[in-house]
Each structure stands twice: as structure tokens, then as C-alpha cells.
Amino acid sequence: MPAQSASSSVPSWRGVLASIDIGSNSFRLEIGQTTRGRYRRIDYLKETVRLGAGLDAEGRLSEEAAQRGLVCLQRFRARLAGIPARQLRAVATQTLREAANRDAFLARAAEALGHPVEVISGREEARLIYKGVARLQPSSHPRLVIDIGGRSTELIIGAGSVPMQAESFGIGSVSLSMRYFGDGLFTEERFRAAQIAAGAEFEEALETFSRRHWSEALGSSGTAGAVSQILAAAGISDGAITPEGLAWCIRACVQAGRVDALELPGLKPERRAVLGGGLAILSALAAQFGIEALQPARGALRQGVIFDLEERLAADRDPAHHDLRDDTVAELQQRFRADAMQARRVQDTAQRLHRQVQPHAELDLQRELGWAAALHEIGMMVSHHDHHRHSAYLIAHVDAPGFSQTQQRRLADLVLGHRGGLRKIEAALAEPDLVWQLLALRLAVLLCHARCAPDEPLPTLAADGRAVQLRLPAGWGERHPRTLHLLAAEAEAWARVGALQLQIEHDPKR
């Protein structure tokens, strides 16, 4: 369908930030600007793509659904022509968390958009939703924020700007509608069955999100907004979603009998097919958590992504600013009792070596290397044997606020490859940036293997294409024969995979 636009063109990208929310039902592009803490929307595009409806029984995304998404991203790309890459972030949610062939789609999506797409975890999605709501609709009262997407529902309790509890549940308006109303029929029995199924998903959270923990409830994004508009247009409420209003909507669906016969004031045609599932989820939430009135929220995931990006860019300009990912890495080190001093030694050495072969590397690549070094030994909490495998698994699967699943997987590849043979990550070595990061990390681990800082001056790296020389200071090999032995084995490991040719050069004279 045609994109919905709030304005025409942007005269300059200076100070402008953009986010893309690749949802299970709709794709959304938000362009905005923050000035002295105030947010101004410049443009907003939305397309109903129904990506989530394209997952088959094996969890694979169909080519038809993939094409709908790629065409939409190409249109978004045209609107974003000229925006610096660091001022844009594209995130994908539940459908691509589930899709068995997501990597293939993500590669095509990056080509269509001209920018990488990151898959975020459910809890990270919840955190970003709350960030968007809290910034655009500030309040000091404890409140429950609900976001019903196409294939997941996020619940967050927070006060002020701080989310205190956040969870994502694998049920949404698209998936529930396909399951109970997929043939287009509405009946009372089907609604009851859908409500029970939705309630079963939320039952484990009855205590965590119970009524005594919050004083107001807000509904973010598509489903809540659509139902609010229906109730307001029909004169049932002022836009507040109440149990009585939900019952009225469900009766109207049953009376219509079919999705294609449903006519409600304020209901947009593209929302009709997923309304049944959304109503079932809302009514289950209202009943189980005692929600008397759910007010529509101003903020959503797409704004939360922009505000998070704003903080990242501020931290890049000035270390005094806050980057949540640094806090997350420090918390993970503490949780898994990593040797922080050794991590710092490896981190400093790796970053110094990386700057020698990649002096103009993007800041994100430099920081990723630092985070990988900081976390490379957390698997020792599980077992010293093959600790790199345990570290990589933990990094790939732990809840890590601020990080996308995509970035966690990249860090996991670096950590998995920091010792031992390289064939286990051979596919990842196709990316040149990761090769340079990994080389620096592996050499740093070897140079610090005695769990002390390497002697100064540090060995130096020089690269000519894929040929790399590690030059050792005079007499260094005689002082460190065991490390020299390990470095020779390192050169052989790289030779076996052919990603680069590492030569060790040393002058035996003191």
C-alpha cells in the first residue's frame, strides 16, 4: 500500500535522526530531530507489510512476504537518500527473531535499504518501547505500558524514565488472528478460545505485572491505537480502552460474522484482518491484570530507537555521556565473575594493535572489539575447559540491554574465535572488518597469556593487503620464548583458513 507521510522533504540531515521499525504487521520509518531535550517529528512513513503472516509451519519466511518487505525498504531508502549511516538505525522484531531463514532475509534487506538491519530481543524491544513512551509522555507515577505487535506483546512497568520490569510474550495480533480467525469467520466460541490462548501466555506474569505495581496503564502502537480510534469514533469512550468498550467491539465482530463484512467507525481497512486477535489479547490483559482503562500512548518503539541512538551519538562525542552498552558489559563482567584486570589488559592491547592495522576504523568497530575483550572470559564461570565456547554462548543468548541480537551474535563470533582453531568461525571470516578485530583480539590474548601486561614497547602490526607482519622488538623472543612459540602456532592457524598471512618477524639481538 502507499506510504503515509507527514511531510515532504528534509532540507538538511544535520541533527536529524531516523529509525525503521521492521514489525510483524507494519514497517515504519520515523524521521525526527531533538533540540534541547524536545523532539520534533519531521516525517513518518508506514506500510502494512504483514511480514509475520509469511512464516510457514517450519518457521521459514515465504518469498512473497520477503518481497513485500524488500520493496517497502527500497521505498524507505529513497526517502532517506543522503542520511549519514550513523544517524539511522533499523531494527527488526518478533518475526525475524523467529524466522529460520532470517540471515538470508537480513542480507537482502541490508542491500535493499542500503543499511544493516539489526534484530533485537523481546526485552530490548520492551526497553526501547518504554524509552519512547517515557520521553514523549513523561510521568513520575508507576505505570504499565503495553505494546501489542503482530507476533509479540510487550509489557513494561516503569516510573519516570526507568523501566523496572519488562517482558516480551510470543503472541500478537497477526499470529492470534491467523490461528483463530484465519478463514475470516468471527464467532463467540472463537473469541473465547482466542482469549483463553492469550491469557495462557500472560499467566506466568500475573504477579510481576499485577495491579498493585502500577497506577495507570498506557497502550503503545498499532493495536491499542486502532481500538482507541474505533471507540472514540463510535462514541463509546473518549479513546480510553475499557472492558466495556472491548466487549462492544467483540460483539460488533460477531454480529458482522466475517472479517470482510466488518464495518466499524474509525477502523482502517488494513487493520481489519488482525483486529480479532488484537481484541482477544486486549480483553485477556484487561481481565487478568485488572485494567479498567488503557489510555493510548504517544510514544512507541520507533521513537525509543531514535532516543537511544541520540544517547549513543552523545556518548561517542563525549565519554561523559551515557551509553547503556558500557554499563551492560560491566554488569555482565560482575555477574559472571570475570577477571576484570585481565580483561582490561587484553582490551587495551587489542585496541592498540587494531589501531595499527585499521587506523580509520569506525568507532562502532573499535567499541565492539573492546566489548569482546571485556567479555572473552565470562564462560569460565561455567567451566575453564573450552571457556571460549561457553563465553560465546552466554554472549549470544543473555539479555543484554542496549545490544541487538545481531550485535550480540557478532560479539559471540569474536569471542568464540579468540582462541583455538579458526575453522569454527570460518563463515564469519568472510567479513574483512571482523578479521582485523579477531586478529587483534587473538594476539592480545597471547601477549597477555601470563595474566600480566605485555612488555613495552609492544610488538607492532603492519598490513599490506592480506599479508600481515607482527614485528617483535629486539631481543623480545629470547625474553619470551613461550609466547614466541604460541605466536608461531598462531601464524599456522591463520594459514590453515587462508583469511590472511601472518608473519612473525623478530630480531634475536638484545
Average model confidence (pLDDT) for the chain?
94
Chain segment 147-204, per-residue pLDDT in tens? 999 999 999 999 999 999 999 999 999 999 999 999 999 999 999 999 999 999 999 9
The C-alpha cell 525503521 sits at 20
- pTM, rounded to two decimals: 0.91
**Model confidence at 238: pLDDT above 70:** yes
pLDDT of residue 195: 98
Grid look-up 587462508 returns 498
Residue 139's CB is within 10 A of a number of other CB atoms, namely 15
Instruction: Name the most confidently modeled range: 4-8, 246-250, 504-508.
Output: 246-250
Q: Determine the Cα–Cα distance for residues 203 and 206; give it in Å rounded to an integer.
A: 5
Closest by Cα among 172, 176, 139 to 158 = 139
Task: Say if residues 434 and 413 touch (Cβ distance below 8 Å).
Answer: yes
Read off the C-alpha cell for 442: 587473538
* CA end-to-end span of the chain: 73
Closest by Cα among 278, 260, 268, 203 to 24: 278
Cell numbers linked to 15? 541533527
Distances (CA, A) of 403 to 23, 303, 477: 18, 17, 40
The 10s digit of each residue's pLDDT in 220-233 is 988 999 999 999 99
